[in-house]
């Protein structure tokens, strides 16, 4: 039996716990998710190293999963646009059962190998694409079908699973096993298996964005300010990076449609925003390189 499906020996009387003990059991078990990711760090780093040149060359991040794993892929994909101004067409997630499965379980969808293959092929995968395949069991047929299609197309495949010897990790070019073990509630991989997958996805996509010069130091300088909160964040980031006053930061940001990178270079170099944009374009979007030019 898979570890993720095996009943936990630590909490056989879970239903008898008082609330305080129940909360402690559920929370404390999550620490194993962090440890599982930490142990898999070398494989995560290898996957990022393999993926970065392809994404830098114009490739897409394509996520595939079923159930909780698939929903985590959707979450990671949609958050890249507001956080890093990443084009939404370059971060696409497919979910067993289709878009409706984001909100309601579609029974049997994860068991269809051919549908996984068809759904991935519908995205017309290319050699520079990076396909991230998520399956707690590591053997979800839908995900394995998509893996086969991705490999046939020559895309880079990253398989993420929560069981040792998982096919999705073995058959992908970059395999990541997050050995989270048994769940407090037997088989409920929305618990620490899902947490470990979320941490891993955060790490991979964030590291790729850092590698693509989407940050300046640890500042989120390529965000897409689509609401009042993010506009104010853009102002604060510009002030922090340049030492400018709020009035100065807002004035320059308004000239460049609140593109923080451009505002930082313009303010520090004391040039106009068009010149700052040109410097950034010549520096592959790197604020540090543009400032050194």
Measured CA to CA, the distance from residue 115 to residue 194 in angstroms comes to 23
Q: Among 282, 278, 242, 284, which Cα is nearest to 260's?
A: 242
110 as an active site residue: the answer is: yes
Q: What angle do CA 223, 246, 259 make, to 5 degrees?
A: 25
Which of the following is catalytic: 5, 35, 79, 171?
79
Which of the following is catalytic: 110, 117, 246, 254?
110
183 as an active site residue: the answer is: no
Q: What angle do CA 118, 123, 125 make, to 5 degrees?
A: 100
Torsion angle defined by CA atoms of residues 278, 283, 289 and 292, in that order, rounded to the nearest 10 degrees: -50
Q: 258: phi > 0 → left, psi -120 to 50 → alpha, else beta; which?
A: left
DSSP for 54-75 reads: HHHTT--EEEEESHHHHHHHHH
Q: Which residues are catalytic?
A: 79, 110
């Amino acid at each position: 039996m898979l570890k993720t499906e095996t009943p936990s020996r630590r909490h056989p009387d879970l239903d008898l716990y008082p609330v305080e003990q129940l909360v402690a059991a559920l929370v404390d078990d999550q620490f194993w998710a962090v440890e599982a990711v930490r142990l898999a760090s070398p494989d995560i780093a290898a996957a990022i190293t393999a993926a970065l040149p392809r994404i830098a060359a114009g490739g897409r991040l394509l996520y595939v999963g079923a159930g909780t794993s698939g929903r985590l892929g959707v979450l990671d994909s949609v958050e890249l646009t507001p956080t890093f101004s990443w084009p939404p067409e370059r971060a696409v997630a497919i979910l067993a059962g289709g878009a409706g499965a984001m909100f309601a379980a579609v029974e049997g969808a994860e068991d269809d190998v051919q549908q996984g293959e068809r759904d991935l092929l519908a995205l017309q995968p290319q050699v520079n694409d990076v396909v991230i395949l998520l399956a707690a069991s590591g053997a979800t047929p839908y995900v394995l079908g998509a893996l086969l299609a991705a490999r046939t197309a020559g895309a880079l495949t990253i398989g993420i699973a929560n069981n040792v010897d998982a096919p999705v990790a073995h058959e992908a070019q970059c395999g990541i096993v997050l050995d989270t073990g048994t769940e407090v509630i037997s088989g409920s991989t929305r618990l620490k298996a899902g947490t470990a997958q979320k941490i891993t996805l955060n790490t991979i996509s964030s590291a790729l964005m850092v590698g693509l010069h989407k940050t300046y130091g640890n500042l989120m300088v390529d965000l897409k300010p689509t609401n009042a909160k993010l506009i104010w964040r853009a102002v604060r980031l510009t002030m922090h990076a340049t030492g400018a006053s709020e009035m100065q930061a807002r004035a320059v940001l308004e000239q460049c449609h609140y593109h923080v990178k451009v505002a930082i270079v313009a303010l520090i170099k004391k040039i106009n925003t068009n010149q700052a944009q040109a410097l950034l374009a010549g520096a592959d979007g790197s604020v540090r390189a543009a400032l050194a030019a």
